[in-house]
Structure 1
Amino acid sequence: MEATAGSVASPSGDQPTSRFGVGSGQVIQEFGYDDDVDEELRAELEKAAGQELVDEYYDDVTDAAILWWREDDGDVQDLTDVMVDAQEMLEDGGLIWVFTPKSGRDGHVRPADFEEAASTAGLHATSAISAAQHWSGIRLTARGRGK
């Protein structure tokens, strides 16, 4: 699908969704908020959802989760724990995006660390994008179960 004006057709074909795969009425839970996050990116997500992001203490079902993660936030095990926490309230099929400072910037995390944490958490990295001026985004989905 081609992205147009920052949105793409939703899987059901009814409403456009943001480039992050979220749309109107969806609840997006945010982990790792700090004063260095990209406020324009947060505003884009809130606009797509039509509501404010909820914090990591939200205790109801969510449609998507975003994780801001920097090198000094912890090791691979800490990242795995946050990924597991993000999945707890996530609706089946919900997306997780991990945002990390771009390569060469303070706080950058190696892709191998994300892959290891995601694998341990039962997730799979499906794509990576330039999410904002200083942040890269990695999309995670639940790993398919073999039958």
Structure 2
Amino acid sequence: MSTSADAPSSSSPAEALAFSSGQIVQEFGYDDDVDLDLRDAIEDVLGDELEDEDCQEIVDGVIMWWREGEGDLTDAMVDTLTTLAAGAPVWVLTPKAGRDGHVAPADIQESAGTAGLRVMSTVSLAQDWTGTRLASRTN
């Protein structure tokens, strides 16, 4: 018997992030190694472009591309909270295990806890990227 957990999914990786049309999503950590197809798919779902790190509007979610060795992950997580609406998710996108820049799940867990966030789920988003959904501890 098949369950939804092991049934093939017809949704796109962008849909796994659970954003919807009209939402404002801020992007941190953009670099030349990001998955452009995933970015385009997220923008298609939103119906608009991702906001950059300098956005001052209250946002409905954050995606943060993060690679090992980029600095202090806890500080970066705290920075994403500046304009984040209450209850909105922060998605930390990291290279998958075995890829350059991979971040250990324990490091994400520890940094999230220190930043006042908690790990909610982890999903495979693209060939080279994994997404970890964080939520504030007050949710």
Do these two structures clear the TM 0.5 threshold for a shared fold by scoring above it? yes
Give the gaps of 5 or more residues in structure 1. 8-16
| Structure 1 position 124, deviation (Å) | 0.5
Residue in structure 1 matching 2:87, options 86, 93, 104: 93
% same residue = 51
Residue in structure 2 matching 1:48, options 45, 48, 68: 45
Deviations 1:65-121 (A, max 9, x none): 0000001212xxx11111111111011110110011100111001111101110011
* Alignment partner, residue 61 of structure 1: 58
* Alignment partner, residue 6 of structure 1: 11
* Alignment partner, residue 34 of structure 1: 31
Q: Size of the alignment, in residue pairs?
A: 132
Q: What is the rounded CA distance, in whole Å, between the counterparts of 1:90 and 1:48 in structure 2?
A: 19
Q: What is the rounded CA distance, in whole Å, between the counterparts of 1:21 and 1:46 in structure 2?
A: 12
- Residue type at the aligned position of 1:44: A
Greater RCO, CA 8 A, separation 6+: 2
Q: Which runs of 4+ in 1 moved over 4 A?
A: none
Which structure is higher in strand share?
1
Matched, 1:130 2:127: no
* Alignment partner, residue 10 of structure 1: none
- Residue type at the aligned position of 1:50: G
Q: Alpha carbon RMSD of aligned pairs, Å?
A: 1.7
Deviations 1:8-51 (A, max 9, x none): xxxxxxxxx92201100000100000000000111111111110
TM-score (norm 1): 0.84
